[in-house]
Amino acid sequence: MKGKQIIRRSLWGRRSVLAAGGAALLASGVSRAEESPVRFGLTPVFLDSDTQLLASLEQYLSDQIGRPVALIKKRTYQEITLMLLSGQLDAAWICGFPYVQYRDRLSLLAIPLYNGRPEYQAYLLAGAKSQARSLSDLKGQVHAFSDPDSNSGFLVTRALLARLEETPETFFTDTFFTYGHRNVIRAVSSGLANSGSVDGYVWDVMNSLQREMVLRTRVVRKSEWFGFPPIACTRASRDSKTVQHVAQALFDMPNHPRGRQILSTLHLDGFVEGDDRLFEGIARNVKLVRDQA
């Protein structure tokens, strides 16, 4: 329709203009929504804070989704979990412990494959020269935890102590949180802590990347298998196009050169759909600790 016809003074003409304007505003709003960054959260469970790796992951996800992607990193698990629950993130790589805590509000989006399986173990560490052979041998020592919302970096050891009718406060001389699994390894390696609770995946990978440091630690105990720290979203957003595109981009990583490079850096094989049953072991430990409180 030509400009002269649009500005006719008839009532119908004015309504047409308003309708056209409303449609334009709506289309503009949709366009802006599609162009707004997809916000993807990363907790310290993420192995490496290397800027090149993060940039590569950001670029890969953006290319696959067709929208800008912003990777959001925070110091603690709690910060990322709360951002996810409040809708400030579209998806996040979290730990199994907060996932179980908020399982009524969160949904599994994808789980990493490590050595061909969607599971990992928690390691109990001691110094390389320590004679400790079990948790009991660590009594009265200084212990490093990763994060109060970490399964491998806190909950597993906390549950073991509950079975002994102990708590970290009664069992260890002192404890502290390092807010990073690599930092737990550093603390034990340097002697800042006598022992530590750590993600076995991180310890294994660090053993190949920074072997000199890791050799100053020793694995005292390996836990049972737990669901690998998952990618999660809120239940309310599970079926949104944005979330589905994020999931598909993760599933497709082994099929793309950049995706394969990222997986290789992370020492992962890929991502698969989540199975909630993988987290039942964590749920049992949560119940055990809560029952003791």
Q: Would residue 50 count as lying in a domain?
A: yes
Residue 213 sits in a domain whose CATH number is 3.40.190.10
Last residue of a domain, one of 223, 246, 261: 223
Q: Would residue 283 count as lying in a domain?
A: no
pLDDT band at 25 (very low <50, low <70, confident <90, very high): very low
pLDDT band at 53 (very low <50, low <70, confident <90, very high): confident
How confident is the model over 112-130, as pLDDT tens digits?
999 999 999 999 999 999 9
- Overall number of domains in the chain: 3
Q: Would residue 13 count as lying in a domain?
A: yes
Average pLDDT, the chain: 88
- Give me the pLDDT at residue 249, please: 98
- Give me the pLDDT at residue 175, please: 98
- Is-contact 34 27, C-beta < 8 A? no
Last residue of a domain, one of 223, 258, 288: 223
**Do residue 107 and residue 244 come from a single domain?**
yes
Average confidence (pLDDT) over 186-207: 96
All residues at 6 or more sequence positions from 185 whose CB lies less than 8 Å from its CB, including other chains: 125, 196, 198, 202, 203, 206, 213, 214, 217
Beta strands in 57-138 (DSSP E): 69-73, 91-93, 106-113, 119-120, 122-127
**Do residue 114 and residue 164 come from a single domain?**
no
**Do residue 126 and residue 187 come from a single domain?**
yes
Sign, Cα dihedral of 121, 122, 124, 128? positive
45 token code pair? 């469970």
pLDDT band at 48 (very low <50, low <70, confident <90, very high): low
Q: Tell me: pLDDT of 31 over 80.
A: no
Q: Tell me: pLDDT of 86 over 50.
A: yes
**Percent of the chain whose predicted confidence (pLDDT) is above 70:** 86
**Do residue 143 and residue 217 come from a single domain?**
yes
**Do residue 157 and residue 217 come from a single domain?**
yes
Q: Would residue 292 count as lying in a domain?
A: no
**Do residue 112 and residue 243 come from a single domain?**
yes
Q: Would residue 290 count as lying in a domain?
A: no
Q: Would residue 85 count as lying in a domain?
A: yes
Last residue of a domain, one of 202, 223, 244: 223
How confident is the model over 238-277, as pLDDT tens digits?
999 999 999 999 999 999 999 999 999 999 999 999 899 9
**Do residue 159 and residue 144 come from a single domain?**
yes
**Do residue 237 and residue 105 come from a single domain?**
yes
**Do residue 76 and residue 202 come from a single domain?**
no
pLDDT band at 5 (very low <50, low <70, confident <90, very high): very low
- Give me the pLDDT at residue 267, please: 93
| Residue 163: count of CB within 10 angstroms of its CB | 11
- Give me the pLDDT at residue 83, please: 97
| Residue 158: count of CB within 10 angstroms of its CB | 20
**Do residue 140 and residue 201 come from a single domain?**
yes
List the domain range (segments joined by +) for residue 104.
39-118+233-278
Helix (H) or strand (E) segment spanning residue 6: helix 3-6
**Do residue 141 and residue 183 come from a single domain?**
yes
Q: Would residue 161 count as lying in a domain?
A: yes
Asked which of 25-29, 33-37, 255-259 is least confident by mean pLDDT, the reply is: 25-29
Q: Would residue 177 count as lying in a domain?
A: yes
Compute CA distances 217 → 137, 155, 227, whole Å.
15, 21, 25
**Do residue 75 and residue 146 come from a single domain?**
no
DSSP secondary structure code for residue 191 in this structure: T
